[in-house]
Structure 1
Amino acid sequence: MTVIKPLLIAMSLVSVGAWANPAPVTEIGRSSRPASSATSPAAGSMEQRLAALERVVEARAEGQVRMQQQLQILLDEVSELRGVTETHSYQLDEIVQRQRDIYQEIERRVSAVQGAGQSANTTAAPTPVTNSPAVMVSGNISETDAYDKAVNMVLKDRRYDAAIPEFESFLRTYPNSVYAPNAHYWLGQLLFNNSELARAKTQFERVVNNFADSNKVADSLLKLGQIAERENDKATALTHYQKLTSAHGSSTAARLAKERLEALK
Protein backbone atom coordinates (compact mmCIF):
# COMPACT_ATOMS: atom_id res chain seq x y z
CA MET A 1 0.00 0.00 0.00
CA THR A 2 2.79 2.29 0.84
CA VAL A 3 4.32 1.82 -2.66
CA ILE A 4 1.09 2.07 -4.63
CA LYS A 5 0.07 5.37 -3.12
CA PRO A 6 3.08 7.38 -4.25
CA LEU A 7 2.75 5.84 -7.74
CA LEU A 8 -0.86 6.96 -8.00
CA ILE A 9 0.11 10.46 -6.98
CA ALA A 10 2.79 10.64 -9.67
CA MET A 11 0.39 9.42 -12.35
CA SER A 12 -2.15 12.03 -11.38
CA LEU A 13 0.46 14.80 -11.67
CA VAL A 14 1.46 13.64 -15.18
CA SER A 15 -2.18 13.62 -16.26
CA VAL A 16 -2.70 17.16 -14.98
CA GLY A 17 0.43 18.41 -16.88
CA ALA A 18 -0.79 16.79 -20.07
CA TRP A 19 -4.09 18.60 -19.85
CA ALA A 20 -2.36 21.86 -19.08
CA ASN A 21 0.02 21.67 -22.11
CA PRO A 22 -1.69 19.86 -24.97
CA ALA A 23 0.51 18.72 -27.89
CA PRO A 24 0.37 20.82 -31.09
CA VAL A 25 -1.96 19.62 -33.80
CA THR A 26 -1.07 19.92 -37.51
CA GLU A 27 -3.96 20.03 -39.95
CA ILE A 28 -3.65 17.67 -42.85
CA GLY A 29 -3.18 19.26 -46.27
CA ARG A 30 -2.32 22.78 -44.89
CA SER A 31 1.12 24.11 -45.73
CA SER A 32 3.23 25.71 -43.01
CA ARG A 33 4.26 28.56 -45.48
CA PRO A 34 2.10 31.73 -45.92
CA ALA A 35 -0.60 31.58 -48.55
CA SER A 36 0.91 34.43 -50.51
CA SER A 37 4.18 32.57 -50.97
CA ALA A 38 2.58 30.35 -53.56
CA THR A 39 2.09 33.24 -55.97
CA SER A 40 5.22 35.24 -55.05
CA PRO A 41 7.39 33.91 -57.93
CA ALA A 42 4.90 35.08 -60.60
CA ALA A 43 4.26 38.40 -58.84
CA GLY A 44 7.97 39.00 -58.40
CA SER A 45 8.60 38.22 -62.08
CA MET A 46 5.93 40.72 -63.24
CA GLU A 47 7.33 43.46 -60.98
CA GLN A 48 10.82 42.82 -62.30
CA ARG A 49 9.58 43.08 -65.89
CA LEU A 50 7.77 46.34 -65.17
CA ALA A 51 10.85 47.75 -63.44
CA ALA A 52 13.02 46.73 -66.43
CA LEU A 53 10.61 48.41 -68.85
CA GLU A 54 10.61 51.59 -66.76
CA ARG A 55 14.39 51.64 -66.80
CA VAL A 56 14.43 51.22 -70.60
CA VAL A 57 11.90 54.03 -71.07
CA GLU A 58 13.81 56.34 -68.73
CA ALA A 59 17.09 55.58 -70.51
CA ARG A 60 15.56 56.35 -73.91
CA ALA A 61 13.99 59.55 -72.63
CA GLU A 62 17.33 60.69 -71.19
CA GLY A 63 19.02 59.83 -74.50
CA GLN A 64 16.51 61.90 -76.46
CA VAL A 65 17.00 64.85 -74.12
CA ARG A 66 20.77 64.64 -74.56
CA MET A 67 20.38 64.44 -78.34
CA GLN A 68 18.11 67.50 -78.36
CA GLN A 69 20.60 69.43 -76.25
CA GLN A 70 23.47 68.47 -78.55
CA LEU A 71 21.40 69.41 -81.62
CA GLN A 72 20.60 72.81 -80.11
CA ILE A 73 24.28 73.38 -79.36
CA LEU A 74 25.17 72.55 -82.97
CA LEU A 75 22.47 74.89 -84.29
CA ASP A 76 23.78 77.70 -82.07
CA GLU A 77 27.32 77.11 -83.32
CA VAL A 78 26.18 77.15 -86.96
CA SER A 79 24.29 80.40 -86.38
CA GLU A 80 27.34 81.93 -84.72
CA LEU A 81 29.60 80.83 -87.58
CA ARG A 82 27.16 82.29 -90.10
CA GLY A 83 27.26 85.61 -88.28
CA VAL A 84 31.07 85.56 -88.18
CA THR A 85 31.18 84.77 -91.91
CA GLU A 86 28.87 87.67 -92.74
CA THR A 87 30.94 90.00 -90.55
CA HIS A 88 34.13 88.95 -92.31
CA SER A 89 32.42 89.43 -95.67
CA TYR A 90 31.49 93.00 -94.75
CA GLN A 91 35.00 93.69 -93.50
CA LEU A 92 36.53 92.30 -96.68
CA ASP A 93 34.23 94.45 -98.80
CA GLU A 94 35.28 97.50 -96.82
CA ILE A 95 38.97 96.68 -97.27
CA VAL A 96 38.51 96.25 -101.03
CA GLN A 97 36.64 99.52 -101.29
CA ARG A 98 39.20 101.35 -99.21
CA GLN A 99 42.00 100.10 -101.41
CA ARG A 100 40.08 101.16 -104.49
CA ASP A 101 39.55 104.61 -102.98
CA ILE A 102 43.24 104.91 -102.27
CA TYR A 103 44.16 103.97 -105.85
CA GLN A 104 41.68 106.47 -107.24
CA GLU A 105 43.02 109.19 -104.98
CA ILE A 106 46.58 108.41 -106.05
CA GLU A 107 45.49 108.57 -109.68
CA ARG A 108 43.85 111.93 -109.07
CA ARG A 109 46.98 113.36 -107.48
CA VAL A 110 49.26 112.00 -110.21
CA SER A 111 46.97 113.44 -112.86
CA ALA A 112 46.95 116.79 -111.06
CA VAL A 113 50.75 116.87 -110.98
CA GLN A 114 50.98 115.87 -114.63
CA GLY A 115 48.41 118.49 -115.59
CA ALA A 116 50.33 121.20 -113.74
CA GLY A 117 53.57 120.18 -115.43
CA GLN A 118 52.03 120.18 -118.88
CA SER A 119 50.46 123.62 -118.44
CA ALA A 120 53.82 125.03 -117.31
CA ASN A 121 55.67 123.55 -120.27
CA THR A 122 53.99 125.04 -123.35
CA THR A 123 56.32 123.21 -125.71
CA ALA A 124 55.47 119.79 -124.37
CA ALA A 125 53.91 117.32 -126.74
CA PRO A 126 50.20 116.68 -126.34
CA THR A 127 49.25 113.87 -124.05
CA PRO A 128 47.82 110.84 -125.86
CA VAL A 129 44.18 110.06 -125.17
CA THR A 130 43.63 107.02 -122.96
CA ASN A 131 40.58 105.04 -121.94
CA SER A 132 41.00 105.80 -118.24
CA PRO A 133 38.22 107.87 -116.65
CA ALA A 134 38.80 111.58 -116.42
CA VAL A 135 39.94 112.84 -113.04
CA MET A 136 38.46 116.14 -111.96
CA VAL A 137 40.97 118.61 -110.51
CA SER A 138 40.10 121.98 -109.05
CA GLY A 139 41.98 125.11 -110.08
CA ASN A 140 41.46 126.61 -106.61
CA ILE A 141 44.59 125.87 -104.58
CA SER A 142 42.85 126.49 -101.27
CA GLU A 143 40.05 124.11 -102.23
CA THR A 144 42.50 121.40 -103.25
CA ASP A 145 44.59 121.89 -100.11
CA ALA A 146 41.50 121.64 -97.90
CA TYR A 147 40.42 118.41 -99.59
CA ASP A 148 43.91 116.94 -99.48
CA LYS A 149 44.15 117.77 -95.79
CA ALA A 150 40.98 115.80 -95.03
CA VAL A 151 42.06 112.87 -97.22
CA ASN A 152 45.54 112.74 -95.68
CA MET A 153 43.99 112.37 -92.24
CA VAL A 154 42.58 109.07 -93.51
CA LEU A 155 45.31 107.78 -95.79
CA LYS A 156 48.44 108.97 -93.99
CA ASP A 157 47.65 109.87 -90.40
CA ARG A 158 44.84 107.33 -89.91
CA ARG A 159 43.03 109.87 -87.74
CA TYR A 160 39.63 108.66 -88.78
CA ASP A 161 37.57 110.42 -86.12
CA ALA A 162 39.37 113.74 -86.74
CA ALA A 163 38.78 113.40 -90.48
CA ILE A 164 34.98 113.46 -90.04
CA PRO A 165 34.70 117.13 -89.02
CA GLU A 166 37.40 117.99 -91.58
CA PHE A 167 35.28 116.62 -94.44
CA GLU A 168 32.18 118.28 -93.01
CA SER A 169 34.02 121.61 -92.92
CA PHE A 170 35.21 121.13 -96.49
CA LEU A 171 31.67 120.45 -97.75
CA ARG A 172 30.30 123.51 -95.97
CA THR A 173 33.01 125.70 -97.48
CA TYR A 174 33.02 124.18 -100.98
CA PRO A 175 29.55 122.60 -101.54
CA ASN A 176 29.94 122.76 -105.33
CA SER A 177 33.52 121.53 -105.46
CA VAL A 178 34.60 118.99 -108.01
CA TYR A 179 35.71 117.00 -104.98
CA ALA A 180 32.25 117.15 -103.38
CA PRO A 181 31.08 113.62 -104.41
CA ASN A 182 34.35 112.14 -103.18
CA ALA A 183 34.11 114.11 -99.95
CA HIS A 184 30.54 112.92 -99.37
CA TYR A 185 31.61 109.35 -100.02
CA TRP A 186 34.65 109.55 -97.72
CA LEU A 187 32.50 111.10 -94.99
CA GLY A 188 29.86 108.39 -95.43
CA GLN A 189 32.55 105.69 -95.25
CA LEU A 190 33.97 107.08 -92.01
CA LEU A 191 30.51 107.30 -90.46
CA PHE A 192 29.71 103.78 -91.67
CA ASN A 193 32.82 102.45 -89.96
CA ASN A 194 31.64 104.10 -86.73
CA SER A 195 28.24 102.37 -87.13
CA GLU A 196 26.51 105.75 -87.52
CA LEU A 197 24.32 104.28 -90.20
CA ALA A 198 21.71 107.06 -90.46
CA ARG A 199 24.32 109.77 -91.02
CA ALA A 200 26.31 107.58 -93.40
CA LYS A 201 23.16 106.83 -95.38
CA THR A 202 22.57 110.57 -95.87
CA GLN A 203 26.04 111.06 -97.36
CA PHE A 204 25.77 108.13 -99.77
CA GLU A 205 22.31 109.24 -100.89
CA ARG A 206 23.69 112.70 -101.70
CA VAL A 207 26.29 111.13 -103.95
CA VAL A 208 23.66 109.05 -105.77
CA ASN A 209 21.04 111.80 -106.06
CA ASN A 210 23.22 114.89 -106.67
CA PHE A 211 26.25 113.58 -108.57
CA ALA A 212 24.95 111.06 -111.08
CA ASP A 213 28.12 111.33 -113.22
CA SER A 214 30.52 110.63 -110.37
CA ASN A 215 32.48 107.41 -110.25
CA LYS A 216 31.45 107.17 -106.58
CA VAL A 217 27.80 106.43 -107.43
CA ALA A 218 28.40 102.69 -107.78
CA ASP A 219 30.28 102.48 -104.49
CA SER A 220 27.61 104.58 -102.76
CA LEU A 221 24.84 102.26 -104.00
CA LEU A 222 26.76 99.30 -102.64
CA LYS A 223 27.08 101.00 -99.27
CA LEU A 224 23.38 101.86 -99.23
CA GLY A 225 22.61 98.19 -99.81
CA GLN A 226 24.88 97.16 -96.95
CA ILE A 227 23.27 99.70 -94.63
CA ALA A 228 19.82 98.35 -95.55
CA GLU A 229 21.02 94.83 -94.74
CA ARG A 230 22.28 95.91 -91.33
CA GLU A 231 18.90 97.51 -90.70
CA ASN A 232 17.22 94.20 -91.67
CA ASP A 233 15.54 95.89 -94.64
CA LYS A 234 16.03 93.17 -97.22
CA ALA A 235 13.71 94.71 -99.83
CA THR A 236 15.59 98.02 -99.87
CA ALA A 237 18.94 96.22 -100.00
CA LEU A 238 17.82 94.22 -103.03
CA THR A 239 16.64 97.42 -104.73
CA HIS A 240 20.03 99.12 -104.30
CA TYR A 241 21.97 96.04 -105.41
CA GLN A 242 19.77 95.53 -108.50
CA LYS A 243 20.08 99.18 -109.45
CA LEU A 244 23.85 98.94 -109.08
CA THR A 245 24.22 95.80 -111.20
CA SER A 246 21.96 97.15 -113.95
CA ALA A 247 23.47 100.67 -114.19
CA HIS A 248 27.11 99.90 -113.35
CA GLY A 249 27.50 96.26 -114.32
CA SER A 250 31.20 96.49 -115.20
CA SER A 251 32.31 98.00 -111.89
CA THR A 252 33.92 96.15 -109.01
CA ALA A 253 31.07 97.33 -106.78
CA ALA A 254 28.60 95.60 -109.13
CA ARG A 255 30.48 92.31 -108.72
CA LEU A 256 30.20 92.59 -104.95
CA ALA A 257 26.52 93.50 -105.31
CA LYS A 258 25.89 90.34 -107.37
CA GLU A 259 27.39 88.26 -104.57
CA ARG A 260 25.08 89.92 -102.05
CA LEU A 261 22.07 89.34 -104.32
CA GLU A 262 22.85 85.64 -104.49
CA ALA A 263 23.28 85.50 -100.71
CA LEU A 264 19.94 87.21 -100.07
CA LYS A 265 17.92 84.98 -102.40
Structure 2
Amino acid sequence: MRLSLLAVLFVAGASNADAPVTDLSTTGQLNEQVTQLKRLIQARGAAQVNLQQQINDLQEEVSELRGVTEEHSYKLDQIVDRQRELYIEIERRLSNLQQAPAPTQPEITEQPLVQEYGGSLGENEAYDQAVNLILKERRYDDAIPAFQKFIEQFPSSIYIPNAHYWLGQLQFNKANYNEAKKHFGEVISSYPDSTKRSDALLKQGTVLQKLGDTAAAKKLFQQVIAEFPESNSATLAKSRLVNLG
Protein backbone atom coordinates (compact mmCIF):
# COMPACT_ATOMS: atom_id res chain seq x y z
CA MET A 1 0.00 0.00 0.00
CA ARG A 2 2.87 2.32 0.85
CA LEU A 3 4.58 1.49 -2.42
CA SER A 4 1.46 2.31 -4.40
CA LEU A 5 1.13 5.67 -2.68
CA LEU A 6 4.76 6.50 -3.43
CA ALA A 7 4.26 5.56 -7.06
CA VAL A 8 1.28 7.88 -7.36
CA LEU A 9 3.23 10.74 -5.81
CA PHE A 10 6.13 10.09 -8.18
CA VAL A 11 3.93 10.16 -11.26
CA ALA A 12 2.21 13.36 -10.14
CA GLY A 13 5.56 15.06 -9.55
CA ALA A 14 6.80 14.04 -12.98
CA SER A 15 3.65 15.41 -14.64
CA ASN A 16 4.02 18.73 -12.88
CA ALA A 17 7.65 18.92 -13.94
CA ASP A 18 6.78 18.39 -17.62
CA ALA A 19 3.88 20.92 -17.77
CA PRO A 20 4.78 24.06 -19.88
CA VAL A 21 5.01 27.35 -18.08
CA THR A 22 3.63 30.45 -19.93
CA ASP A 23 5.79 33.59 -19.60
CA LEU A 24 3.22 36.39 -19.43
CA SER A 25 5.84 39.12 -19.72
CA THR A 26 7.16 37.68 -23.02
CA THR A 27 3.64 37.53 -24.47
CA GLY A 28 3.03 41.16 -23.54
CA GLN A 29 6.28 42.22 -25.24
CA LEU A 30 5.31 40.38 -28.43
CA ASN A 31 1.90 42.07 -28.48
CA GLU A 32 3.54 45.45 -28.01
CA GLN A 33 5.98 44.74 -30.86
CA VAL A 34 3.13 43.71 -33.15
CA THR A 35 1.26 46.90 -32.30
CA GLN A 36 4.32 49.02 -33.01
CA LEU A 37 4.87 47.20 -36.31
CA LYS A 38 1.27 47.90 -37.36
CA ARG A 39 1.73 51.58 -36.53
CA LEU A 40 4.96 51.68 -38.53
CA ILE A 41 3.26 50.10 -41.56
CA GLN A 42 0.36 52.56 -41.36
CA ALA A 43 2.73 55.53 -41.07
CA ARG A 44 4.76 54.31 -44.03
CA GLY A 45 1.62 53.85 -46.10
CA ALA A 46 0.48 57.38 -45.31
CA ALA A 47 3.91 58.73 -46.22
CA GLN A 48 3.80 56.91 -49.57
CA VAL A 49 0.38 58.34 -50.37
CA ASN A 50 1.62 61.84 -49.49
CA LEU A 51 4.74 61.37 -51.62
CA GLN A 52 2.66 60.19 -54.58
CA GLN A 53 0.45 63.27 -54.28
CA GLN A 54 3.50 65.51 -54.25
CA ILE A 55 4.81 63.74 -57.37
CA ASN A 56 1.45 64.24 -59.08
CA ASP A 57 1.48 67.95 -58.21
CA LEU A 58 5.01 68.35 -59.57
CA GLN A 59 4.06 66.55 -62.78
CA GLU A 60 1.13 68.92 -63.22
CA GLU A 61 3.41 71.92 -62.76
CA VAL A 62 5.89 70.51 -65.28
CA SER A 63 3.03 69.91 -67.72
CA GLU A 64 1.83 73.51 -67.37
CA LEU A 65 5.35 74.91 -67.74
CA ARG A 66 5.88 72.78 -70.83
CA GLY A 67 2.66 74.17 -72.25
CA VAL A 68 3.87 77.71 -71.62
CA THR A 69 7.17 76.90 -73.37
CA GLU A 70 5.30 75.53 -76.37
CA GLU A 71 3.17 78.66 -76.49
CA HIS A 72 6.21 80.94 -76.49
CA SER A 73 7.92 78.83 -79.15
CA TYR A 74 4.82 78.99 -81.33
CA LYS A 75 4.51 82.73 -80.78
CA LEU A 76 8.16 83.22 -81.77
CA ASP A 77 7.57 81.31 -85.01
CA GLN A 78 4.54 83.50 -85.71
CA ILE A 79 6.55 86.70 -85.12
CA VAL A 80 9.34 85.50 -87.42
CA ASP A 81 6.79 84.69 -90.13
CA ARG A 82 5.17 88.12 -89.78
CA GLN A 83 8.56 89.83 -89.99
CA ARG A 84 9.43 87.84 -93.10
CA GLU A 85 6.13 88.83 -94.72
CA LEU A 86 6.75 92.45 -93.77
CA TYR A 87 10.21 92.46 -95.37
CA ILE A 88 8.81 90.91 -98.56
CA GLU A 89 6.03 93.49 -98.67
CA ILE A 90 8.48 96.36 -98.16
CA GLU A 91 10.75 95.07 -100.93
CA ARG A 92 7.76 94.72 -103.26
CA ARG A 93 6.64 98.28 -102.60
CA LEU A 94 10.15 99.67 -103.02
CA SER A 95 10.37 97.85 -106.30
CA ASN A 96 7.07 99.38 -107.39
CA LEU A 97 8.35 102.84 -106.49
CA GLN A 98 11.51 102.33 -108.56
CA GLN A 99 9.48 101.18 -111.55
CA ALA A 100 6.98 104.04 -111.37
CA PRO A 101 6.95 106.13 -114.64
CA ALA A 102 6.52 109.45 -112.86
CA PRO A 103 6.93 110.63 -109.27
CA THR A 104 3.45 112.11 -109.32
CA GLN A 105 1.79 108.75 -109.92
CA PRO A 106 -0.37 107.68 -106.93
CA GLU A 107 1.30 105.05 -104.85
CA ILE A 108 0.18 102.87 -101.96
CA THR A 109 1.22 104.41 -98.68
CA GLU A 110 2.74 102.51 -95.78
CA GLN A 111 -0.03 103.39 -93.32
CA PRO A 112 -2.32 100.35 -93.96
CA LEU A 113 0.62 97.99 -93.50
CA VAL A 114 1.65 99.64 -90.25
CA GLN A 115 -1.90 99.47 -88.91
CA GLU A 116 -2.21 95.81 -89.83
CA TYR A 117 1.07 94.89 -88.20
CA GLY A 118 0.28 97.02 -85.17
CA GLY A 119 -2.99 95.12 -84.78
CA SER A 120 -1.11 91.83 -84.61
CA LEU A 121 1.23 93.22 -82.01
CA GLY A 122 -1.76 94.39 -80.02
CA GLU A 123 -3.11 90.86 -80.00
CA ASN A 124 0.21 89.43 -78.79
CA GLU A 125 0.65 92.12 -76.18
CA ALA A 126 -2.86 91.55 -74.81
CA TYR A 127 -2.26 87.82 -74.51
CA ASP A 128 1.19 88.25 -72.98
CA GLN A 129 -0.18 90.70 -70.45
CA ALA A 130 -2.87 88.25 -69.34
CA VAL A 131 -0.39 85.37 -69.09
CA ASN A 132 2.11 87.49 -67.15
CA LEU A 133 -0.58 88.29 -64.59
CA ILE A 134 -0.44 84.57 -63.75
CA LEU A 135 3.17 83.56 -64.25
CA LYS A 136 5.02 86.68 -63.15
CA GLU A 137 2.75 88.85 -61.02
CA ARG A 138 0.59 86.13 -59.41
CA ARG A 139 -2.47 88.40 -59.79
CA TYR A 140 -4.87 85.54 -60.45
CA ASP A 141 -8.08 87.48 -59.87
CA ASP A 142 -7.00 90.19 -62.32
CA ALA A 143 -6.06 87.58 -64.91
CA ILE A 144 -9.67 86.38 -65.25
CA PRO A 145 -11.10 89.63 -66.72
CA ALA A 146 -7.91 90.05 -68.77
CA PHE A 147 -8.46 86.75 -70.55
CA GLN A 148 -12.19 87.40 -70.92
CA LYS A 149 -11.43 90.75 -72.56
CA PHE A 150 -8.86 89.11 -74.83
CA ILE A 151 -11.46 86.59 -76.06
CA GLU A 152 -13.92 89.41 -76.77
CA GLN A 153 -11.40 91.57 -78.62
CA PHE A 154 -9.66 88.81 -80.62
CA PRO A 155 -12.22 86.03 -81.21
CA SER A 156 -10.24 84.66 -84.19
CA SER A 157 -6.86 84.64 -82.43
CA ILE A 158 -4.74 81.53 -82.45
CA TYR A 159 -4.51 81.95 -78.67
CA ILE A 160 -8.24 81.60 -78.01
CA PRO A 161 -8.03 77.92 -76.93
CA ASN A 162 -5.15 78.81 -74.62
CA ALA A 163 -7.16 81.68 -73.15
CA HIS A 164 -10.09 79.35 -72.44
CA TYR A 165 -7.71 76.85 -70.84
CA TRP A 166 -6.21 79.48 -68.55
CA LEU A 167 -9.68 80.68 -67.58
CA GLY A 168 -10.65 77.11 -66.75
CA GLN A 169 -7.55 76.72 -64.59
CA LEU A 170 -8.15 80.02 -62.79
CA GLN A 171 -11.79 79.17 -62.09
CA PHE A 172 -10.78 75.68 -60.91
CA ASN A 173 -8.34 77.19 -58.43
CA LYS A 174 -11.19 79.32 -57.06
CA ALA A 175 -13.38 76.17 -56.77
CA ASN A 176 -15.77 77.58 -59.38
CA TYR A 177 -16.06 74.14 -60.94
CA ASN A 178 -19.01 74.85 -63.23
CA GLU A 179 -17.20 77.82 -64.77
CA ALA A 180 -14.03 75.75 -65.10
CA LYS A 181 -16.03 72.98 -66.76
CA LYS A 182 -17.37 75.45 -69.34
CA HIS A 183 -13.93 76.70 -70.41
CA PHE A 184 -12.20 73.30 -70.47
CA GLY A 185 -15.17 71.98 -72.45
CA GLU A 186 -14.74 74.80 -74.97
CA VAL A 187 -11.13 73.77 -75.61
CA ILE A 188 -12.11 70.10 -75.99
CA SER A 189 -15.11 70.58 -78.26
CA SER A 190 -14.13 73.61 -80.37
CA TYR A 191 -10.36 73.24 -80.72
CA PRO A 192 -9.54 69.53 -81.18
CA ASP A 193 -6.10 70.34 -82.66
CA SER A 194 -5.05 72.63 -79.84
CA THR A 195 -1.84 71.85 -77.97
CA LYS A 196 -3.85 72.27 -74.76
CA ARG A 197 -6.31 69.48 -75.59
CA SER A 198 -4.61 66.79 -73.48
CA ASP A 199 -4.34 69.11 -70.48
CA ALA A 200 -7.95 70.25 -70.94
CA LEU A 201 -9.19 66.64 -71.00
CA LEU A 202 -7.26 65.87 -67.83
CA LYS A 203 -8.50 68.99 -66.05
CA GLN A 204 -12.06 68.38 -67.16
CA GLY A 205 -11.88 64.91 -65.67
CA THR A 206 -10.63 66.41 -62.42
CA VAL A 207 -13.49 68.94 -62.47
CA LEU A 208 -16.06 66.16 -62.94
CA GLN A 209 -14.42 64.25 -60.10
CA LYS A 210 -14.82 67.30 -57.86
CA LEU A 211 -18.46 67.57 -58.92
CA GLY A 212 -19.05 63.94 -57.94
CA ASP A 213 -19.45 62.49 -61.45
CA THR A 214 -16.93 59.69 -61.03
CA ALA A 215 -18.05 57.69 -64.06
CA ALA A 216 -17.62 60.65 -66.44
CA ALA A 217 -14.27 61.51 -64.83
CA LYS A 218 -12.98 57.97 -65.44
CA LYS A 219 -14.09 58.15 -69.06
CA LEU A 220 -12.13 61.35 -69.65
CA PHE A 221 -9.02 60.01 -67.93
CA GLN A 222 -9.18 56.95 -70.17
CA GLN A 223 -9.60 59.22 -73.20
CA VAL A 224 -6.43 61.12 -72.26
CA ILE A 225 -4.49 57.85 -72.06
CA ALA A 226 -5.91 56.66 -75.39
CA GLU A 227 -5.27 59.89 -77.31
CA PHE A 228 -1.98 60.97 -75.71
CA PRO A 229 -0.34 57.79 -74.35
CA GLU A 230 3.16 59.28 -74.08
CA SER A 231 2.19 62.61 -72.51
CA ASN A 232 2.51 63.82 -68.93
CA SER A 233 -1.24 64.20 -68.95
CA ALA A 234 -1.59 60.45 -69.58
CA THR A 235 0.71 59.70 -66.64
CA LEU A 236 -1.41 61.88 -64.37
CA ALA A 237 -4.61 60.35 -65.77
CA LYS A 238 -3.36 56.86 -64.86
CA SER A 239 -2.68 58.04 -61.32
CA ARG A 240 -6.18 59.54 -61.09
CA LEU A 241 -7.72 56.25 -62.23
CA VAL A 242 -5.81 54.34 -59.56
CA ASN A 243 -7.03 56.72 -56.88
CA LEU A 244 -10.62 56.41 -58.11
CA GLY A 245 -10.37 52.61 -57.88
- After TM superposition, the score normalised by the length of structure 1 is 0.60
Is the contact between residue 102 and residue 155 of structure 1 (CA under 8 Å) also seen in structure 2?
Answer: no
Match of 2:192, SS state, is: coil
Aligned with residue 32 of structure 2, among 61, 66, 78: 66
CA-CA distance at 1:183 after TM superposition: 0.5
Q: What residue is the counterpart of 2:55 in the other structure?
A: 89
SS of 1:215's equivalent in the other structure is coil
Q: Which whole-Å deviations, capped at 9, do the CAs of 1:66-111 have from their partners, x for residues lacking one?
A: 2453244224313421331232122212221122122122113212
Task: State the alpha-carbon separation in 2 of the partners of residues 87 and 262 from structure 1.
Answer: 12
1:213 aligns with 2:177: no
- Identify the residue that residue 69 of structure 2 maps to in structure 1: 103
Q: Deviations over 1:16-58 (max 9, x none)?
A: xxxxxxxxxxxxxxxxxxxxxxxxxxxxxx9xx9xx86xx447
CA, structure 1 residues 74+212, in 2 after alignment: closer, same or farther (shift >3 Å)? same
Distance 1:178 1:74 in 2: 54
Q: Which moved more, 1:243-252 or 1:180-189?
A: 243-252
Which position in structure 1 is the counterpart of 2:132?
152
Aligned position for 1:240: 220
Cα gap change, 1:193 to 1:71, in 2 (>3 Å): farther
Gaps of 5+ in 1: 1-45, 125-137
Q: How far off its partner does 1:252 sit? A: 4.5
Residues in 1 aligned to 2:25 and 2:175: alpha-carbon distance in whole angstroms? 52
Q: Residue 74 and residue 248 in structure 1: after superposition, are their counterparts in 2 closer, same or farther (change >3 A)?
A: same
Give the aligned length.
Answer: 204
Q: Highest CA radius of gyration, 1 or 2? A: 1
Deviation at 1:151, TM superposition (A): 1.2
Q: In structure 1, what residue type is equivalent to 2:151?
A: L
Alignment-derived partner of residue 42 in structure 2: 76
RMSD: 3.8
Is contact 2:56-2:236 (8 Å) kept?
Answer: no
Matched position secondary structure for 1:209: helix
In structure 2, the CA distance between the partners of 1:176 and 1:112, relative to structure 1 (3 Å rule), is closer
CA contact 2:60–2:236 (8 Å) conserved in 1: no
Question: Residue 203 and residue 82 in structure 1: after superposition, are their counterparts in 2 closer, same or farther (change >3 A)?
Answer: farther
Identical aligned residues as a percent: 33
The residue number in structure 1 matching 2:4 is: none
Match of 2:205? 225
Q: Which has the higher helix share?
A: 2
Per-residue displacement from partner, 1:167-217 (whole Å, max 9, x unpaired)?
Answer: 233335545543221001112233444555454333212211222232211
Q: Structure 1 residues 212, 110: CA separation in 2 closer, same or farther (over 3 Å shift)?
A: same
Map of 1:200 onto structure 2: 180
